[in-house]
Amino acid sequence: MLNQLLFPVAKRFVSGQTIQDAVTAVRRLNASGIRTTLDVLGENVSDRRAADAAVATYLETLDWIQREGLSSNVSLKLTQMGLDIDRDYCLENVARICERAAGNNFVRIDMEGSAYTERTLNFFYELFQKHQNVGVVIQAYLHRSEQDVRRLIELRARVRLCKGAYKEPPSLAVQTMAAVRQNFMSLASLLLSKGNHPAMATHDDVLISWTKNYIAQHQLPKDGFEFQMLYGVRSETQRQLAAHGYSMRVYVPFGTHWLPYFYRRMRERKENVAFVLKNLFRK
């Protein structure tokens, strides 16, 4: 009931419940010179049926991308692929998706809360030995991230850098916006100068300007990295960056399990809560 009430509002951040909805959103973005990464919403599955269904949807999504000639890759969460059920089973699932993407596509493993950081990275290192078309995410708020970034750079692995979306304790993560930004910039400078096509996933004007200045000062090519943003967030900025020759990729989630994703977007911005309330009670 609450889900039905909230979905029209969640549609600001979620492209729709079906793959066809997502394809429509991707086509629209591609037409503005924006690439996408498709995310089949879902996380923390506890039975194999749910994980199998998610795998099947990812395989179908890759087929759609191929068939329709879309400029898109995919992003997934390990807990949706069965990490909490059985690691080997999860590995087989993600390997199948990487195999389907092999040739000309790419699979990004999203980073979840800190209970999964170590497991996600170890999983990634193992998968990456066989599948080079897979990348991972580093969260700038975690104290451990510099060490992880250095190792990923050595491996020539592709990294998406973001601030981090989960609530983490001071023992694991810096807590102020100034400190998160500072960490982001120091990790970004490593990735931009030595990394393999890194992604700067942020909507933060301070970090976007910093990134543009960094590559200009160091005479790095505009297409050696990409900016990434979320569907429905700062769409005008997305279009402007693409129009100014930057590689721009938008994370396009779709599916029926949208509530936890929507909740994280609410937590990031108190204005979003006002937006939800206003829209819920609008006649």
Task: Give residues in contact with ligand FAD (CB under 6 A).
Answer: 110-111, 137, 139, 162-166, 201-204, 228-230, 233-234, 251, 265, 268-269, 272
Of 99 and 268, which CB lies nearer to ligand FAD in the complex structure? 268
Residue whose C-beta lies closest to ligand FAD:
203
DSSP E strand stretches across 180-247: 199-201, 226-230
User: Smallest distance, Å, CB 197 to ligand FAD?
Assistant: 15
- β partners of residue 226: 199
The residue from 35, 158, 160, 265 that is catalytic is 160
Alpha carbon 253 to its chain centroid, in Å, reads: 9
Rounded Cα distance between 41 and 142, Å, is 24
Question: Could you tell me the smallest distance in angstroms from the CB atom of residue 219 to ligand FAD?
Answer: 26
Closest among 73, 168, 81, 74 to 123, alpha carbons compared: 81
What is the 8-class DSSP label of residue 115?
G
Annotated active-site residue 160? The verdict is yes
Question: Which of 76, 78, 80, 62 is closest to 26 using CA atoms?
Answer: 62
Q: Which is nearer to ligand FAD, 48 or 144 (CB)?
A: 144
State in angstroms the smallest separation of the CB of 121 from ligand FAD.
Answer: 13
Q: CA 96 to CA 63: how far, in whole Å?
A: 13
Question: What count of other Cβ atoms lies within 10 Å of the Cβ of residue 232?
Answer: 18
Closer residue to ligand FAD, CB minimum distance, 72 or 202:
202
Rounded CA separation 135/171 (Å) = 27
- Mark residue 134 as left, alpha or beta (left: phi above 0; alpha: psi -120 to 50; beta: remaining): beta
Cβ 227 to ligand FAD shortest distance, Å: 9
Q: Is 176 helix (H, G, I), strand (E, B) or coil?
A: coil
Least Å distance between CB 23 and ligand FAD?
A: 19
The reply to whether 110 belongs to the active site is yes
Helix (H) or strand (E) holding 165: none
Q: Closer to ligand FAD at the Cβ: 48 or 214? A: 214
Point out the catalytic residue in the list 39, 84, 110, 148: 110
Whose Cβ is closer to ligand FAD: residue 79's or residue 139's?
A: 139
Residues assigned a catalytic role: 110, 160
